[in-house]
Amino acid sequence: MEHNCPLNKIQLGYHTWNLLHTLVANYPHEPSPQKQEDVNQFFKLLGRLYPCQACGRDFSHLLTLRPPVTTSQNTLSQWLCSIHNDVNQKIGKSFFDCNKVNERWRDGWNDGSCD
């Protein structure tokens, strides 16, 4: 596929998850009530506006079953990783070790490969 073509569903999902994990990796350790409300609204709107309608509906459904835990960067990162693993299970992909979520999207791998 050419680089200047529209994203297919797989590419869109890959890039969306990277955006979400990066956003959450940079979420405050002690967020204000406004920041917590903003991130809740962001996730709700993402489900409503996502270009893949079935994916957006599934994401919105997950949000109703397991709302975001927005009390800290760690709780939100763990929540998102868990949600991502739910989606991975549904589509037959492998699970990600949620103990490594900040290493992957915030700090870089411990082996120094991101330095």
Question: Quick one: tokens of 99?
Answer: 């103990």
Place of tokens 């079953």: 65
User: How does DSSP assign 83-98, residue by residue?
Assistant: HHHHHHHHHTPPPP-G
Q: Residue 63 class from Cβ within 10 Å (0-12 exposed, 13-18 middle, 19+ buried)?
A: middle
Low-confidence ranges of the chain (pLDDT < 50): none
Contacts of 48 (CB under 8 A, 6+ apart): 56, 60
**Residues 8, 69: Cα–Cα separation, whole Å:** 30
pLDDT of residue 2: 66
Domain segments of the chain: what residues? 37-105
37-105 CATH choice from 3.40.50.300, 1.10.1660.10, 1.10.3720.10, 1.20.120.310: 1.20.120.310
pTM of the model: 0.92
pLDDT tens per residue, range 41-64: 999 999 999 999 999 999 999 999
